[in-house]
Amino acid sequence: MRARNCILVVLAMLVTTGAFASEHVILLHGLCRTKHSMSRMEAELIGMGYRVLNVDYASRTSSISELADTVIPEAVAECRAQGATIIHFVTHSLGGILVRSYVARHSLPELGRVVMLAPPNQGSEVVDILGRLWIFGVINGPAGRELGTGMNSTPNKLGPAEFPLGIIAGNRSINLINSLFIRGRDDGKVSVEKTKIGGMTDHVVLPTAHPFLMRNRQAIRQTIHFLHNAAFDY
């Protein structure tokens, strides 16, 4: 108990003195979502003293590379203008693939640590089955169609991670139809196994579903722990 109280005191001092003020965190929501889905994560990170940029972007309008090349440079430029020396990313679902796409093709010297929540890093079987349907394209746009599991899908062409990367996967589903298409444990959108990627630093599985992972208290706690320590808390 005494050790825990000491940790809390140290963290409070860090927040008070702005020790993380030069460390910025860019939040990127998932497909068909808005920045409001990341609002709880945003509040918790701000409470820890980070400067946070919660980005809203039209995820259904363009390809993954086009989204990455529009959304990320603008966010990075804003962080730089505010004095960022380290820029972390916390992403949900598609947001993680945008980061991979951008970093694979551009230099980002300030890049710190990245936490991806439920990323389809090896694609999703749901896209393999439903992606050919007209209605799927209407709902999910060009980027959604790129998230299959084939070797030529965008996630599978991006290569391994070459930055500190923590991945949080869920293993509960509220979409039982989607789960019929997915092999192994899944969150209703992507399997636990296909969230993984070569070069990742750490990986943890939590008992929650894809739509709720970014608001899950344990996921938020683990995200903060990874940003501090480059490892999850077991």
> What's 164's domain CATH number?
3.40.50.1820
* Domain assignment of residue 83, given as a range: 21-229
pLDDT at 200 over 90: yes
10 domain-assigned: no
pLDDT at 27 over 50: yes
12 domain-assigned: no
Q: What is the pLDDT of residues 205-226, one digit of tens each?
A: 999 999 999 999 999 999 999 9
Q: What's the CA gap between 159 and 99, in Å, rounded?
A: 12
2 domain-assigned: no
Split into its structural domains, the chain has a count of: 1
Q: What is the pLDDT of residues 121-168, one digit of tens each?
A: 999 999 999 988 999 889 999 999 999 999 999 999 999 999 999 999
Q: What is the pLDDT of residues 80-116, one digit of tens each?
A: 999 999 999 999 999 999 999 999 999 999 999 999 9
Among residues 129, 58, 61, 51, which one has the least CA distance to residue 90? 51
14 domain-assigned: no
Question: What pLDDT, on the 0 to 100 scale, is given for residue 2?
Answer: 57
Residue 67: which H helix or E strand, with range? Answer: helix 64-81
For 81, half-sphere exposure in the C-beta direction (CA atoms, 13 angstrom radius) is: 7
9 domain-assigned: no
Question: What pLDDT, on the 0 to 100 scale, is given for residue 123?
Answer: 97
pLDDT at 9 over 70: no
